Every structure is written in C-alpha cells, then in structure tokens.
C-alpha cells in the first residue's frame, strides 16, 4: 500500500484533473470536487453510489490511490485508516 501522509498533489491541480464532474454518482451542488484529496472526502450532496469513475481518473493514477467512491466513502487517507 502506497499511502503518503504529506500531501501529495496540489489541490488546484487535482481539481483540474479529476473526473468527479463526469461521474454518474455526481450531484452538482457547487461544492469543491476532488474528493480523494479532500480532508473530509465525502460530499454533502451525493447520497447514492450510481457508478464510479475513480478507477482511471488522472488524479487516482498519478497518486497511486487504491480506493473508489471517495465522494461517499471518504478520502484515500480516510478509507485507508478505516481498515
């Protein structure tokens, strides 16, 4: 498992690269995307998992993240520590 505690990708860069806005689960409520990088991770608006574009997302691939559904399950770090 390759989890780095010191952040990783610049948040602005991550938002520019991420696939969140195209995801079938995405709900546009004007909150900041790139849930994998977020400290909180989860969305306050997305309640249902209706498909996930995290696998293959440029942010996930560049950072070697291993999880999915960051919008509903939490950030990479959060999901890794929940095990």
Give 10-residue mean pLDDT values along the chain (83 residues). 57 92 96 86 95 96 95 92 78
Residue 17 lies in a domain: no
Q: How many domains does the chain have?
A: 1
Asked whether 66 and 1 are in contact (CB, 8 A), the reply is yes
pTM given for the model: 0.85
Please indicate, yes or no, if residue 15 is contained in any of the structural domains: no
The domain in which residue 74 lies consists of: 35-83
Task: Please choose, from the candidates 67, 28, 29, the residue with its C-alpha nearest in 3D space to the C-alpha of residue 37.
Answer: 67
pLDDT of residue 2: 44
């Amino acid at each position: 498992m390759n989890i780095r505690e010191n952040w990783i990708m610049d948040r602005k860069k991550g938002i520019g690269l991420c696939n969140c806005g195209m995801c079938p689960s995405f709900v546009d409520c004007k909150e900041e995307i790139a849930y994998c990088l977020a400290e909180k991770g989860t969305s306050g608006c997305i309640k249902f998992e209706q498909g996930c574009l995290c696998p293959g997302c440029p942010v996930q691939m560049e950072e070697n993240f291993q999880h999915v559904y960051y919008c509903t399950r939490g950030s990479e770090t959060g999901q890794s520590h929940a095990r």
